[in-house]
Structure 1
C-alpha cells in the first residue's frame, strides 16, 4: 500500500529519488526467537526484517536506513551480553553495523540500565547516534542531529550531491531513572530544524520515538507526531514508542500527517517503514515534489521460512545458545499453573505472584529501615496481555519447575523496586487511572467492547492488599491515555483494606516501580518526600529471590477487584484461545465464548455484568 503527498514544486529541473527505510522498537529482538516460550517465531526479529531491507534497497538507487530507538534492551538476549573486554560491541550495534544503518535515534528504554550503559553500548557504532531533547554531556558520542552528505544518482543517471538532515527525539520526562533532563520535543524541533537548514540540509527527516497523540500540542507531550508534523522544514517523519503501525491497512489511514509522509513500523522488527521522496533541484535549491509512505510486514506465516541468506543468525549463534542455556536454569517450583489470560477482568495468577514477591521485599525493607508501621500494598500490571503482540502474547506457566525463563516471562522489563508512602485519596486516584482504559457501559447495553484495540492492556494495574469494584456505568476520570477528563468523576466502589473502608486520609506503603513513581503510563506522581530511599533492586531480582526461598508456590487467586453489576449489560474482550483451558481456575469468573477465533487469531469472550 502506497500513499502520496504532492508539493507545489516544479517538475522541471534535476530530479532525485530518495528512499528512507526505518525500523523502531526492536527491543533487542535480533533473532526470530521467543526466549520466554523457548521457540522460534515467524512474525518478527531483525534477522527477518533484514530480508525486507535487502529487497527494498535493491529496488531503489538512493537509500538510507534508520532506526528510531528502544533497540538496546528488552529481550532475554539483551541481558546476556558478551564480556566487554573480549567484545566491546553491543549485539544490537553489531547487527546494525552489519546491516549498514546510516543513523540511530535513542528511545527511553535504551536508558533502562543507566546513562553509562548507553554510552558503553554505542561506542562501537559505525553510524551517528541521535537525540535532540535529552541533556547529555558533550563528547558522549550522541548528537542532536546529523547531516549526511551523499552522492546520489538522479533520474537521468547523473551524479548529484544531496545533504540529508536526520534529527532524533525521545519522550520528555522519561529518563528520570537515568538522572537525565529532557526538553519538549516541539521546542527542540523548532530550535534545531532551522539550524539544520542553515547548515545546508536539503531534506530533513525526523526520528521521533513518540506515538501519534492529540492534534493539539501541550508542553512535554509524550506522543507528539501530529503536532510535530506541523513544524516547518520537516519533510519525512518516523514514529514509534507505542508499538503501533502507520499507515494501517484501513483505507482512512493515508500515511500523511499534515502533508508529511509518515511511518510507524510496529515493533521487534515486525515491519519495515518505507518512505519514498522525489526531489527537484532548481537554481541550486532542492525541493520536495512527491512523497510516499508505506509499510512492509515480516510474514507471520509459520510456513514462510526466512531464507538461509541471513548471516545475522550465524553471527549471533553463540549468544543465542548461551541465552537459551541461561534461561533454563532452575529457580523454584509452583504447584499451580500461572497465567494472565483474563487479567482485564480481574483474574490473573501470574501478576499475583509478582505482587507477592514485591510485598515480601517491602516487608524486609520496612524492617531494615525501621519505616513506619503502615499497611503494605503492592501494585503491578500484566505486561504481556495480547494486543499488538497477538494471541500468544500472554504469560502462561505450567505447574512444576520454574526457571529463569519463567521469571522473565512473568516480568519482562528491567524496572526497579520503589516504595511510596501514600494516602487513601492517592490510591483512589491511582486506581481511577488504572480503570480508565475501559469503555463506559450503560444499563441494558449488551456486548460492549471492554477496551478499544489501540489501548494497551498493560496500562491497567491492580493492587494486592485492597479489594474494590469498578463501576463501568460511570464516566472515567482520565482518558485511556491518562489525561485528566473530569476531576470529580469516579468508577471506584467499595475500596477496602482488610474489610475496612479506606478513607482519604488513611496511610499505606505502596510497593511499585521506579517507572510508575516517575509517571510512567501517566500515573499520578507522588511527592518527592513520599518516595522512600531504598537500595536499588530490579523487580526480577527480588522475584527470583522470592521464588527461590519458597518451598512451593501456591497462591490464593480470589479476585482483589471485580466489575460492579450493571443491569442487562455485558462486555466482550479479546484473549488467547488457550484461555478456555484455564478458565476453570477462576470459578467465580462467568464467561461466554463469543467468537472462537477472529481474524487476528484471538478468542472473543463475553462477560455479563
Structure 2
C-alpha cells in the first residue's frame, strides 16, 4: 500500500497571490496557487492526506484586516484550509502573536484537528498533542484496508512567553508521545515540527531540531518549517532524507508543496513503512500558476482582498530620501535604520516614563526581506515622498513586540558575533568568496544603531550559522565603539529589541530575566507608525554602522536585486563591481573588494 503526504508550512496568511506591500500580483506564492499543486498531486495517488505545519494565521497585511467575529466566525485561513480539505494542522509560534484567546477563537471553525504537543494549553482548548486518523485506503491490489495514521505537532520551545504559555523540549515530548501513539495503534507516524534543520547534536529546548528529531524511533515522516527554508533543495546533494527519514521543508507563504510518498507492507496484521521518498514542488516553476483556471479561493476572499488594499493606501508620513535594504548584508540599509530610529524613540519614552537607569540607548533590528528564497524582488524599497500603511508594513512585516533589556558590553559583543556568524571566512588573497551560503537566511543578521564596529572575516566565527557555539574565544567584531569610545565588557547599555530576540529567537544570546525591563506591550509596527506620524518629514542618514575589516587582496560576492544598481549611489562608501547582471534566479551578483 502507498500513502502520499502533502504538506504546507509558514503560510503567514498569504491566501492570495498578492504582495500588499508592493500592491501587485505575484506568481511565486499564495495558497490559491499552491492549491493547484495540491489538486495535481492528489490526482496522482490513491491515498493522500494534506497537512499544514504552522504559522498560518498571521503575518501578512491580509491578516490585519480580519472581519468582525460576528459577521464571519471562521478565520479566513481556516476557511481556506477547510475548502481544501486539510486533514490536520500544527500550530507555530507566530500563530500566538495575538495571544492565546485569539488562537482559540481562530481554530473553532476548523473541520480538521489542530495540534501541538509541547505547549501547555487548556484541555478544553480544542488543541491535541496528536491525532490518530483512521482512513480507508486502497492497497496495490485494489482492496480496501484500514490504516491508522498518527500525526503529532511541535512548535519552538520558549517561543510563547508573550502569550504566557509554557513549552517543553521537542525531543523530550516526542519520546513521551511517539511510543504512546504506537501503543494506541498508529501504523505510521508523521511528525509536524515547526522547526528548522539545526545542528545534529541535541541541546535542551533547541529551537531548530529536525536533525536530532529524525533519530526518534517510530517517526516515519517529518515535515519541518519555521526558518522559511526549503528541503530538499533543488540541485543540492541531499536526497530528502534525515537519518533515513523522508523529510520536507516546503518554504514559506505557499511557495512550495511538500510531497512525501511512503510504501508500506503488512506483516502479521501490522502495517509498516518499507521505503519512502520526499520532494518539493515549487509554485513559481509550475506553468499553470501563471493563470489559474480554478479561482474559487480568490472568489471567496475578494471582499477581504479589496478592503485590505484600500486600507494599505492610507497616508502616515513623508520621507525625504528613498529607503531600501538591497545592500543590508554589506552594511548599507536605510530601511532598517528607520525602524531602529523608531525603536530608539520609543525606548526614550519608556526610559523617561519608568525612571529607568540613565544608560546609553541602542536599538537592534534586522532586514526581514533580504532576497534569499524570496527571490530578487524580496527586498524593501520605498521611494522618497509619501509613506503609507503599506510602506510601514513593508518595513516591518511581523507582529513582534518591543522589548527593552539592560545589557553589558560583553553581551553586545556576543550579540554581534551571533549576527555576523552567517558570513563565510575569507583569507588574504582570496577573490570572490561567497559572502554567505545560499541556505543561510539573511534575516538572522542584525545591526545595532548607536554603536560602530568592524567585522573581520579573516577570523573564524564564534557561532555556527545556525547559532551553535563553536568557540568561546573566537571573534570577528573589531573596534566596537559607542560615540567614538571603545566599549568595555563591563559597560552597561539599554538595548531596544523584540520579544522574539530576548526569548532566544534565531539562537541569539539570552539575557537574564531580571535584565528584561517591564515595558508596556506594543508591536514594533505600531511604534513605527507613531514615530513616522509624529515627524514632520523623515530624513534617515545612511552612514554605515559597521563595515568589513580590509583584507589584503581579497573580495566577497553576494546576490541582490537588479534594482540595487539604481540606488547604490546612496551608499558612496561601497565599492561594488557587478559580476552577473542576472543569474539563473534573477539576482544580480555583486563583488565587494575587502
Q: Same fold (TM over 0.5)?
A: yes
Quick one: which of 71, 92, 98 aligns to 1:86?
71
State how 1:169-208 maps to structure 2 within 5 Å. 169-208=154-193
The answer to whether the Cα contact below 8 Å between 1:48 and 1:306 also exists between their aligned partners in 2 is: no
Whole-angstrom distance in 2 between the partners of 1:305 and 1:439: 37
Deviates more, 1:388-397 or 1:451-460: 451-460
State how 1:160-239 maps to structure 2 within 5 Å. 160-239=145-224
Structure 1 residues 375 and 318, CA, compared in 2 at 3 Å: closer, same or farther?
same
> Any idea what SS the aligned residue of 1:299 has?
helix
Whole-angstrom distance in 1 between the partners of 2:486 and 2:162: 35
Does residue 124 in structure 1 map to residue 109 in structure 2? yes
Deviates more, 1:155-164 or 1:320-329: 155-164
Whole-angstrom distance in 2 between the partners of 1:246 and 1:425: 36
* Corresponding position of 2:515: 530
Deviation (angstroms), 1:256: 2.1
Whole-angstrom distance in 1 between the partners of 2:545 and 2:200: 38
Does residue 114 in structure 1 map to residue 99 in structure 2? yes
Does residue 352 in structure 1 map to residue 357 in structure 2? no
Whole-angstrom distance in 2 between the partners of 1:251 and 1:377: 40
Does residue 25 in structure 1 map to residue 13 in structure 2? no
Deviation (angstroms), 1:338: 0.3
Whole-angstrom distance in 1 between the partners of 2:128 and 2:466: 30
- Runs of 5+ in structure 2 lacking a partner? none
Q: Structure 1, residues 546-582: CA drift from partner, whole Å, max 9, x if none?
A: 1111111112111111111111111111111100000
Does residue 157 in structure 1 map to residue 142 in structure 2? yes
* Corresponding position of 1:4: none
Deviates more, 1:434-443 or 1:333-342: 434-443
Does residue 281 in structure 1 map to residue 231 in structure 2? no
* Corresponding position of 1:48: 33
* Corresponding position of 1:415: 400
Whole-angstrom distance in 2 between the partners of 1:310 and 1:75: 20
* Corresponding position of 1:455: 440
Deviation (angstroms), 1:151: 1.3
Whole-angstrom distance in 2 between the partners of 1:259 and 1:512: 40
Whole-angstrom distance in 2 between the partners of 1:448 and 1:82: 50
Deviates more, 1:530-539 or 1:220-229: 220-229
The answer to whether the Cα contact below 8 Å between 1:474 and 1:490 also exists between their aligned partners in 2 is: yes
* Corresponding position of 1:12: none
Deviation (angstroms), 1:155: 2.2
Whole-angstrom distance in 2 between the partners of 1:95 and 1:387: 28
Whole-angstrom distance in 1 between the partners of 2:544 and 2:197: 35
State how 1:304-319 maps to structure 2 within 5 Å. 305-319=290-304
Deviation (angstroms), 1:449: 1.1
* Corresponding position of 2:549: 564
Deviation (angstroms), 1:301: 7.2
Deviation (angstroms), 1:99: 0.5
The answer to whether the Cα contact below 8 Å between 2:467 and 2:508 also exists between their aligned partners in 1 is: yes
* Corresponding position of 2:306: 321
Q: Structure 1, residues 450-489: CA drift from partner, whole Å, max 9, x if none?
A: 1111111111111111111111111111111111111122
> Any idea what SS the aligned residue of 1:109 has?
helix
Does residue 585 in structure 1 map to residue 570 in structure 2? yes
Whole-angstrom distance in 1 between the partners of 2:485 and 2:226: 41
Structure 1 residues 317 and 261, CA, compared in 2 at 3 Å: closer, same or farther?
same
Deviation (angstroms), 1:126: 0.7
* Corresponding position of 2:45: 60
Whole-angstrom distance in 2 between the partners of 1:261 and 1:457: 27
State how 1:223-302 maps to structure 2 within 5 Å. 223-250=208-235, 252-300=237-285
* Corresponding position of 1:137: 122
- Runs of 5+ in structure 1 lacking a partner? 1-15
Quick one: which of 373, 384, 393 aligns to 1:399?
384
Could you state the TM-score of these two structures normalised by the residue count of structure 2?
A: 0.98
Deviates more, 1:279-288 or 1:265-274: 279-288
Whole-angstrom distance in 1 between the partners of 2:216 and 2:131: 18
> Any idea what SS the aligned residue of 1:545 has?
helix
The answer to whether the Cα contact below 8 Å between 1:42 and 1:300 also exists between their aligned partners in 2 is: no
Whole-angstrom distance in 1 between the partners of 2:16 and 2:188: 33
Whole-angstrom distance in 2 between the partners of 1:146 and 1:79: 31
* Corresponding position of 1:8: none
Q: Structure 1, residues 409-441: CA drift from partner, whole Å, max 9, x if none?
A: 000010111111111121111111111111111
> Any idea what SS the aligned residue of 2:527 has?
helix
Structure 1 residues 468 and 289, CA, compared in 2 at 3 Å: closer, same or farther?
closer
* Corresponding position of 2:352: 367
The number of aligned residues is 594
Deviation (angstroms), 1:300: 4.8
Deviation (angstroms), 1:539: 0.6
Deviation (angstroms), 1:400: 0.7
Could you state the TM-score of these two structures normalised by the residue count of structure 1?
A: 0.95
* Corresponding position of 2:420: 435
> Any idea what SS the aligned residue of 2:281 has?
strand
Whole-angstrom distance in 1 between the partners of 2:117 and 2:137: 27
Whole-angstrom distance in 1 between the partners of 2:498 and 2:225: 23
The answer to whether the Cα contact below 8 Å between 1:210 and 1:241 also exists between their aligned partners in 2 is: yes
The answer to whether the Cα contact below 8 Å between 1:43 and 1:301 also exists between their aligned partners in 2 is: no
Whole-angstrom distance in 1 between the partners of 2:126 and 2:47: 27
Q: Structure 1, residues 334-366: CA drift from partner, whole Å, max 9, x if none?
A: 111000001111111001111111111111111
